[in-house]
Amino acid sequence: MDLITRITLPPLLPTLLAVLTILLTALLYRIVVRSYFSSLCVIPGPPSKQQKLGWPSLSGNFQESLYRPTPEWSNREQQGAIRYSGALGEQALVVTDPAAVQHILSHHNDFPPPKSIRKIIGIMVGEGLLFAQGDAHRRQRKIMNPSFAPLHLRELLPSFFEATYKLRDKWIQIIKNPPSASTTDEQDATPPLDKPSAESSALINLSQWMPRLTLDIIGLAGFGYSFHQVTGDSTGFADAFNALFSNKEAAASVLKPPSPTALVLITIAVGLLMRLPIGLARWLPGKEVKDLLSAMDLIKAESRKVIEEKKRKVEKDGVGSLGGGRDLITLLLRSNLGAGSSALSDVELEGQIATLLLAGNDTSSLTLIWTLSYLARNPTAQARLRTEIRDARRSAIAEGRDELSHDDLESLSFLDAVVRETLRLEPPAAFAIRTSLSNTQVPLSKPLNTSHGQLPSLPVTKNVTLVIPFASMNRDPAVFGEDAEEWRPERWLEGAGEGGVGIYSHIMTFSAGPRACIGYKFALLEIKAVLATLLTTFNFAPRDSTTEYFPRTAILTRPLVKGEEDEGFKCELRVGLVDEEAE
C-alpha cells in the first residue's frame, strides 16, 4: 500500500488540483457571464439577492419567486416577459406575450421541454406521447388522434355515467349511514360526524374520492374494465396514485422552498443525472425516489397486462376480435395495426397507457374538486346550474331517454360556463417549461419595455429556460377584465376570452400548438357528465364558515387547507341529498 501511495500520490495531487481549478474557473465564468453580460440582462426582473463582496447569489431568485412572488412582479408577468436568475447563473424568462407564447409552443422542435423534465417523464410514464419529440411525437399523435375523434367520444359517455352512478350510490350510503367515531376504514374517507345534520349530510373529502372516480372512468373508457376504486374492491392503483400525488410529504415540500445551498446542490445533481441513463435512477438514494419508482412500476405492470391481454385476443381470434370495442386502447390498437412501418412499438404502447392513466386521471379529478368547491361557496350559481341540468333531464325523459346525451350536455350553456371558468382559474398544470436550442428572436405582439428602451422582439439565447405561466395568463385583465381574479362563470355567457392564447376558449389550461393536450375534449365531456350526475342528487356546501383553501403545485396544482397543511392535500365539503323532484 505504501509503495502504491508513493507511486500515485505525487502526480495525482497536481492533477486533482488542476481539474478542480478548471472546474471552478468554468463555474465562475458561467456565473459572471450569465449574470452580468447576457443579452437577457436588459429585460426587467426582480433583483437577485447579493452575496458578500457584491457577488450574485449562487441560488438565484427564480425558485423563491415561484413560491413567494411579490405583487409587483406578479403583475409584471402580464406585460410580456420578465427575467429571473436560476441557480449557478442560469437565466430564465417568464413569457406571457401572446405572440411569443404562440411562437414558442408552435415551434416545439426549437423549444422542447428541458432534458431534465423529459428524463423525469421517461422515468414516470415511459416512451409515450409526453416523452416523444420530433418525428416520433408526430407519428404517435397521428396514430392516437382517431381514438379521440368526436364520434368515438360520444360512444364513451355511458362509461362516464356508469362510474359516476357508483360514486353517487356510495355517497348516498355514507350520508344515510354516517361512520361512527370508531370507524377506521379509510376507504369511506369521511371523518366521523358527531351526529347527522338536520339536512342529512356528511363531510366528504373530495381529494380522496374524485381520483378514485376518474381512475374508474379512465379504466372503463380507456381500457374496457373497471379498477373498482369507488367500490373498494381493489386499492392497488389508489395506493399508487396516493404515493405519487397525495402524501403529506408532497404537501409539506411545496410549502417551503429548498434552502439556497440545497438548491445549488440539487442543480448540480440534476445536471449529473441528465448525463446518466434513465435506468440508473433506480439506484438513487431516498425513500421518496423509491416510493415514486414503486408506484410507477405498478402502473407500468398494469399497462403491460392491458396490452398483452388485448394482443393475445388478436392472436387467437384475429383483428376482428377487437370488434366494436369503444375503449381508447382498443381504438388505438386498431389504428396501430393499420399503421404499417409507423406502428407503435410495445414499449410505446405501454407508454400511452401510463400517460393516459396519469394525464387523464388527476387532471380531471382536480378540475372536479375545484369546480365543486367553487359551487359550494357560490350557492346561487349552484342552484342555477342544478335547475339547468334538471330541465335537460326532464326533456330527455319526455323523449324516452333515461340519461342525458352528448348533445344535451353540450347544449347546457351555464354548465359549460362553470367548467370553463374553473379551468381558467385553476389549471391543473400551472405552467409549462421549455428551453431554447439556439440563439433566436421570438416575435412579440407589442414592444417590450427594457432598461435599454423598447425591444420589438424577444432575444433568446441558447439553453435559456422559458416558463409559460398558464395560471397567470388565464388571469390577464386585458383578456378577462378587471375581475379576472374572481370566479364568475357568467363572463363566458358574455363572450369573454377574446385575444387569449390556447387550444380551448382562449385559455392556456390545455396549452397550445402541436403538443397541446390531445385528450381535452375527452376531459371536458367527462367533467360535464360527472357534474350533471352529482348535482342532480347532491347539494354541496363549505365544511364551515372559516375554512380557507389555497392552491399549491406538486406536479399538478392541488388544494390545501390553511392551518392544516400538515394533513396533506384535501378539500372537504359538506354533501347533502336534495329533493330530486323540487326545483
Q: Among 455, 579, 522, 445, which residue's Cα sits nearest to residue 221?
A: 522
> Which residues are paired to 573 by β-bridges?
204, 542
pLDDT digits (tens, 9 = 90+) for 337-350: 777 878 888 888 88
> Do residues 480 and 471 lie in contact, with contact meaning Cβ atoms separated by under 8 Å?
no
> Which residues are paired to 92 by β-bridges?
84, 465
Pairing of strands 440-450, 538-542: unpaired
Q: What is the structure's pLDDT at 70?
A: 45
Q: What is the structure's pLDDT at 257?
A: 52
CA atoms within 13 A on the CB side of 215: 25
Burial of 138 (0-12, 13-18, 19+ CB in 10 A): middle
Q: How far is it, in rounded angstroms, from Cα 161 to Cα 220?
A: 11
Q: Is 416 helix (H, G, I), strand (E, B) or coil?
A: helix
Contacts of 239 (CB under 8 A, 6+ apart): 295, 298
Distances (CA, A) of 346 to 138, 300, 389, 507: 17, 12, 43, 35
Residue with cell 416512451: 127
Q: What's this model's pTM, rounded to 2 decimal places?
A: 0.83
What does residue 277 show for φ and ψ, rounded to 5 degrees? Answer: -60, 150
Q: How many C-beta neighbours within 10 Å does residue 552 have?
A: 17
Q: What is the structure's pLDDT at 263?
A: 46
Distances (CA, A) of 165 to 27, 162, 256: 59, 5, 40
Q: Give me the numbers of helices (H) and strands (E) for the chain, helices first please.
A: 21, 11
> Which residues are paired to 453 by β-bridges?
450
Q: How far is it, in rounded angstroms, from Cα 223 to Cα 31?
A: 50
Contacts of 554 (CB under 8 A, 6+ apart): 245, 250, 251, 253, 254, 569
Low-confidence ranges of the chain (pLDDT < 50): 1-9, 52-55, 59, 67-74, 181-198, 247-248, 252, 263-264, 266
Q: How far is it, in rounded angstroms, from Cα 183 to Cα 174?
A: 12
Which structural domains are found in the chain, ordered by start? 126-427+474-577 (1.10.630.10)
Q: Among 326, 274, 6, which residue's Cα sits nearest to residue 114?
A: 274
> Which residues are paired to 242 by β-bridges?
none
Q: What is the structure's pLDDT at 192?
A: 40
Tell me the three cell numbers of residue 556: 399538478
Q: Is 386 helix (H, G, I), strand (E, B) or coil?
A: helix
Q: How far is it, in rounded angstroms, from Cα 549 to Cα 370?
A: 10
> Do residues 558 and 570 lie in contact, with contact meaning Cβ atoms separated by under 8 Å?
no
> Do residues 243 and 294 lie in contact, with contact meaning Cβ atoms separated by under 8 Å?
yes
> Do residues 467 and 66 lie in contact, with contact meaning Cβ atoms separated by under 8 Å?
no
Distances (CA, A) of 176 to 64, 120, 534, 574: 47, 45, 16, 13
Question: Is 517 labeled as ligand-binding?
Answer: yes
User: Quick one: CA torsion of 271, 274, 276, 280, rounded to 10 degrees?
Assistant: 100
- Pure H helices in 33-133: 62-67, 71-76, 98-106, 115-125
